[in-house]
Amino acid sequence: MTAPRAAFLAPAMADALARYLARKQGLAGASANTIAAYATDLRGFLGFMAQHLGGLDSPRALGTITQSDMRAWMADARGRELSARALARKLSAVRGFARFVADETGIDISAILATRAPKHARGLPRPLSASDARDVLDTVALQTTADWAGLRDMAVVTLLYGCGLRVSEALSLTGRDAPLPDVLRMTGKGGRERLVPVLPVARRAVDDYLRACPHPMAPDLPLFRAMRGGPLDRRHIARVMEATRMQLGLPASATPHALRHSFATHLLAKGGDLRAIQELLGHASLRSTQVYTAVDTTRLMDVYDAAHPRARG
């Protein structure tokens, strides 16, 4: 797959993009990671159009883009083996920026807005089974030679599975959060706050780590520390999970985020209320949570087929 073309933006276009991203971050409360993704997507689009059209000197030039131009951009993206889902995300970013420019300048962006995203099947989350999740918790601490670091990794993973936290949320905890309270107030995507009950097993895992951690703890310092005392990097958790799943013979889908999926799926299987799970996960829409009902049904049918291979044939 070839790399996307570099985007060298005209000053006026670069200024409009910077203002749009600042507004997105300020008004919509988008996270730094989301803003960075928007910037990458939009620079790629504008860079393509500048080359395709022979220039894109000002934001008003977006009004000259035709549906044929949009199809050329989408064909270029698909030619770089971009998935339909990723292209749909990029198109959403382009539409948002185009609306922003249109509001400022009054240009016609109907060609951009009329462009349809490619259809894609929404993939189901791939949670671990309850026994595999327990095996991960029992094994993850063995992937490092320092005992305190093993306790740290187990504490992080326990928060992912036991509380449904995102990796970024677990790593955002500071010394101010220790010892963990009965309920954590977390700020997730879009600046949405939610209350997350902390299970005793998660609290004990964090307490065990804190007692062994060789680095001084302070309210404004990260709770989870790297070997030299700096903040723990999410890539470390990904590497630890990779080593753990290889040791246990688990599939590549057994990622840190899969533990959050497992949290939701196992709650639902135990009779958890969908609305309550939505609140615990911090989903803005119930549609995002309803995907776990499909996961639970799929797993149920897999068990049924395994037990009764001729029942439906």
Residues designated as active site: 166, 189, 257, 260, 283, 292
Contact 71, 118 (CB under 8 A): no
Give the count of alpha carbons within 13 A of 307, CB side only.
Answer: 6
DSSP 176-233: GGPSP-SEEEEE-GGG-EEEEE--HHHHHHHHHHHHH--S---TTSBSSB-TTSSBPP
State how far the Cα of 86 lies from the Cα of 37, in Å rounded to an integer. 11
Query: Hey, what are 41's tokens?
Result: 């997507």
Closest CA to 169 of 234, 225, 106, 94: 234
Q: 182 near 282, Cβ under 8 Å?
A: no
Task: Label residues 232-271 b or e (16+ Cβ within 10 Å = b).
Answer: beeebbeebbbbbbeeeebeeebbbebbbbbbbbbbbeee
Pairing between β-strand 183-187 and β-strand 193-197 as defined by DSSP bridges: antiparallel
Question: Count of residues for the chain?
Answer: 313
Phi first, then psi: give them for residue 115, nearest 5 degrees: -70, 130
Separation in Å, CA 75 to CA 46, 47, 81, 82, 282: 15, 15, 10, 10, 35
